[in-house]
């Protein structure tokens, strides 16, 4: 057996143990980490005095305040001192579930777990599997009747509970013993989303590894769970870590409030964007100017027609003769000149407006094409993340942040 009571202190160099009993005001200002260190120190002292039951109480309080895997080793070792092998086995297994895959204590703990399983089997007639389920052995003259098993085995995985914004997150997991699968999949979603996205995990040695892209680590939290699959369809899940209804939650430091938009909606500005708006504005301005000049030309034409009608009435026809030809005066000539100028400008502006509209259509096409290509490039290697998410009319989803958790929803009109 190895000693682990001092390892937790070495793993927590930032924790300072108090020497004196704190005053009420000082205790109110202590953060949870300081309180966890005090409970751990007290539990260690009680362990040294042989008061194992009280030591376990203090260690459990320390673990509740700061769920660090090394504390689980201390709890398990203390239960061993009390000869409560079943409880010790439970906490050793919990350590294997939550400790890092590269934890130096893992090989030793795995050996202890096998030893305790044999001893528990011999004393209780039950075999405790690595997944935490039990199958009692048949008694004399009885047929074996398995107890109710958990739905799936548990992947060996250390949950990630915090990350920094805009930094990729590496997820690792190992299969439980004697488990054959075709693939292992990581399912992720940002806080505020209802749909999970798939990322295949790659086998590196005995460990499956996947990386959550930085473009996904933007909101205050994200959720994920893992599934090891064999075949397709219902019943293909062989092992898992977390579930769709109870995923692991990662709190993201510096993340933004939940955004209900799809993951791939990245703000990409193309070099054509400015000219799209310029051509659109020019098209509207030219066409509007052309219509205005055409109306002015029509107004001058109407003025000449009214002038001609008035002059014709002043020279009525006599004896069926055609009235004499009218001669424009200065006012009529000005109207005629202005009308011709307005008509020419109207045609010119209409032509420029049509040309601007054509340029607007071409630039808009280039703009959309550029954005689509850039979005596809940024999502390369993650096809599930580059697909457009559908947004239902009414949706609600969980989210978590440094100060709490809750629900967020939206209604699309």
pLDDT tens sequence across 321-365: 555 566 677 777 888 888 889 899 999 999 999 999 999 999 999
How much of the chain exceeds pLDDT 70, in percent?
69
Phi, psi of 296 (to 5 degrees): -65, -40
Is the pLDDT higher at 8 or at 203? Answer: 203
Residue 11 has pLDDT above 60, yes or no: no
Q: How far apart are CA 72 and CA 128, in angstroms?
A: 19
Query: Could you tell me the pLDDT band of residue 30, with boundaries at 50, 70 and 90?
Result: low
Q: How far apart are CA 186 and CA 208, in angstroms?
A: 10
Q: What is the pLDDT of residue 68?
A: 83
> Picking from 100-114, 117-131, 236-250, 355-369, which range would have the lowest pLDDT averaged per residue?
117-131
27 touches 21 (CB < 8 A): no
Kindly give the interhelix angle for 52-65 and 69-81, rounded to the nearest 10 degrees: 170
> Picking from 131-140, 213-222, 255-264, which range would have the lowest pLDDT averaged per residue?
131-140
Other CB atoms closer than 10 Å to residue 380's CB: what's the count?
Answer: 9
Residue 253 has pLDDT above 90, yes or no: no
Residue 147 has pLDDT above 80, yes or no: no
Other CB atoms closer than 10 Å to residue 193's CB: what's the count?
Answer: 25
Count of helices and strands (H, E) across the chain: 10, 14
- The two tokens of residue 15 are 């924790």
Q: What is the pLDDT of residue 124?
A: 56
225 touches 241 (CB < 8 A): yes
Residue 21 has pLDDT above 70, yes or no: no
Residue 245 has pLDDT above 80, yes or no: yes
Residue 413 has pLDDT above 60, yes or no: no
Mean of pLDDT over the chain: 76
> Picking from 88-97, 195-204, 402-411, which range would have the lowest pLDDT averaged per residue?
402-411
Query: Could you tell me the pLDDT band of residue 17, with boundaries at 50, 70 and 90?
Result: very low
Q: What is the rounded average pLDDT of the residues 136-147?
A: 36
Phi, psi of 223 (to 5 degrees): -120, 150
Q: How far apart are CA 99 and CA 96, in angstroms?
A: 6
Is the pLDDT higher at 112 or at 138? Answer: 112
Q: What is the pLDDT of residue 168?
A: 93
Tell how strand 237-241 and strand 153-154 pair up.
parallel
Q: How far apart are CA 145 and CA 154, in angstroms?
A: 23
Is the pLDDT higher at 355 or at 18? Answer: 355
Residue 29 has pLDDT above 60, yes or no: no
DSSP for 76-123? HHHHHHTT-HHHHHHHHHHHHHHS-TT-TTHHHHHHHHHHHHHHHHHH
Residue 143 has pLDDT above 50, yes or no: no
Query: Could you tell me the pLDDT band of residue 267, with boundaries at 50, 70 and 90?
Result: low
Alpha carbon distance, N-terminus to C-terminus of the chain: 65
Q: What is the pLDDT of residue 67?
A: 83
Tell how strand 404-411 and strand 394-401 pair up.
antiparallel
> Which residues does 22 contact at the CB level (< 8 Å), separation at least 6?
30
Q: What is the pLDDT of residues 154-204, one digit of tens each?
A: 899 888 888 899 999 999 999 988 888 999 999 999 877 878 999 999 999
Residue 36 has pLDDT above 80, yes or no: yes
Most confident of 196-200, 300-304, 409-413: 196-200
Residue 131 has pLDDT above 70, yes or no: no
> Which residues does 199 contact at the CB level (< 8 Å), separation at least 6?
185, 186, 187, 188, 210, 211, 212, 382, 384, 385
* DSSP symbol at 206: T
- Which residues, listed in sequence order, are joined to residue 162 by a DSSP beta bridge? 251
Q: How far apart are CA 46 and CA 53, in angstroms?
A: 9
Q: What is the pLDDT of residue 135?
A: 36
Residue 136 has pLDDT above 50, yes or no: no
Residue 226 sits at the vertex; the CA angle it makes with 220 and 228, to the nearest 5 degrees, is 170
Could you tell me the CA-to-CA distances from 211 to 150, 216, 295, 382 in Å, in that order? 28, 11, 65, 10
Q: What is the pLDDT of residue 308?
A: 76
Q: What is the pLDDT of residue 137?
A: 39
Q: What is the rounded average pLDDT of the residues 384-390?
A: 40
- Which residues, listed in sequence order, are joined to residue 211 by a DSSP beta bridge? 170
Residue 297 has pLDDT above 50, yes or no: yes
Q: What is the pLDDT of residues 223-235, one digit of tens each?
A: 999 999 988 877 8
């Amino acid at each position: 057996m190895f000693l682990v009571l001092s390892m937790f202190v070495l793993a927590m160099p930032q924790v300072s143990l108090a020497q004196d009993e704190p005053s009420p005001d000082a205790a109110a200002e202590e953060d949870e980490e300081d309180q966890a260190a005090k409970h751990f120190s007290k539990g260690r002292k009680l362990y040294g005095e042989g008061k194992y039951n009280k030591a376990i109480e203090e260690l459990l309080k320390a673990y509740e305040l700061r769920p660090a895997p090394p504390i689980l080793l201390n709890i398990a070792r203390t239960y061993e001192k009390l000869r409560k092998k079943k409880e010790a086995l439970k906490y050793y297994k919990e350590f294997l579930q939550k400790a890092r895959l590269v934890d130096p204590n893992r090989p030793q703990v795995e050996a202890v777990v096998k030893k305790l399983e044999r001893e528990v089997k011999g004393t209780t007639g039950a075999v405790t599997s690595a997944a935490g389920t039990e199958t009692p052995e048949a008694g004399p003259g009885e047929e074996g009747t398995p107890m109710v098993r958990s739905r799936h085995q548990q992947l060996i995985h250390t949950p990630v509970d915090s990350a920094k914004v805009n930094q990729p997150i590496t997820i690792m997991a190992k299969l439980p013993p004697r488990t054959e699968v075709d693939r292992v999949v990581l399912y992720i979603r940002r806080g505020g989303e209802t749909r999970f996205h798939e990322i295949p995990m790659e086998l590196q040695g005995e460990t499956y590894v996947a990386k959550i892209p930085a473009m996904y680590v933007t909101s205050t939290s994200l959720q994920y769970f893992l599934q090891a699959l064999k075949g397709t369809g219902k019943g293909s899940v062989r092992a898992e870590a977390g579930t769709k209804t109870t995923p692991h939650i990662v709190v993201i430091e510096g993340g933004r409030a939940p955004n209900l938009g799809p993951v791939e909606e990245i703000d990409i500005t193309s070099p054509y964007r400015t000219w799209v708006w310029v051509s659109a504005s020019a098209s509207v301005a030219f066409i509007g100017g052309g219509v205005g000049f055409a109306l002015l030309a029509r107004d001058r034409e109407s003025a000449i027609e009214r002038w001609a009608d008035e002059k014709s009435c002043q020279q009525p026809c006599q004896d069926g003769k055609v009235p004499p030809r009218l001669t424009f005066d200065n006012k009529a000539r000005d109207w005629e000149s202005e009308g011709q100028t307005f008509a020419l400008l109207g045609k010119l502006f209409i032509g420029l407006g049509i040309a601007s509209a054509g340029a607007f259509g071409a630039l808009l096409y280039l703009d959309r094409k550029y954005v689509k290509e850039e979005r596809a490039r940024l999502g390369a290697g993650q096809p599930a993340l580059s697909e457009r998410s559908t947004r239902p009319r009414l949706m609600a989803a969980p989210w978590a942040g440094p100060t709490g958790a809750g629900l967020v929803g939206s209604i699309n009109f």
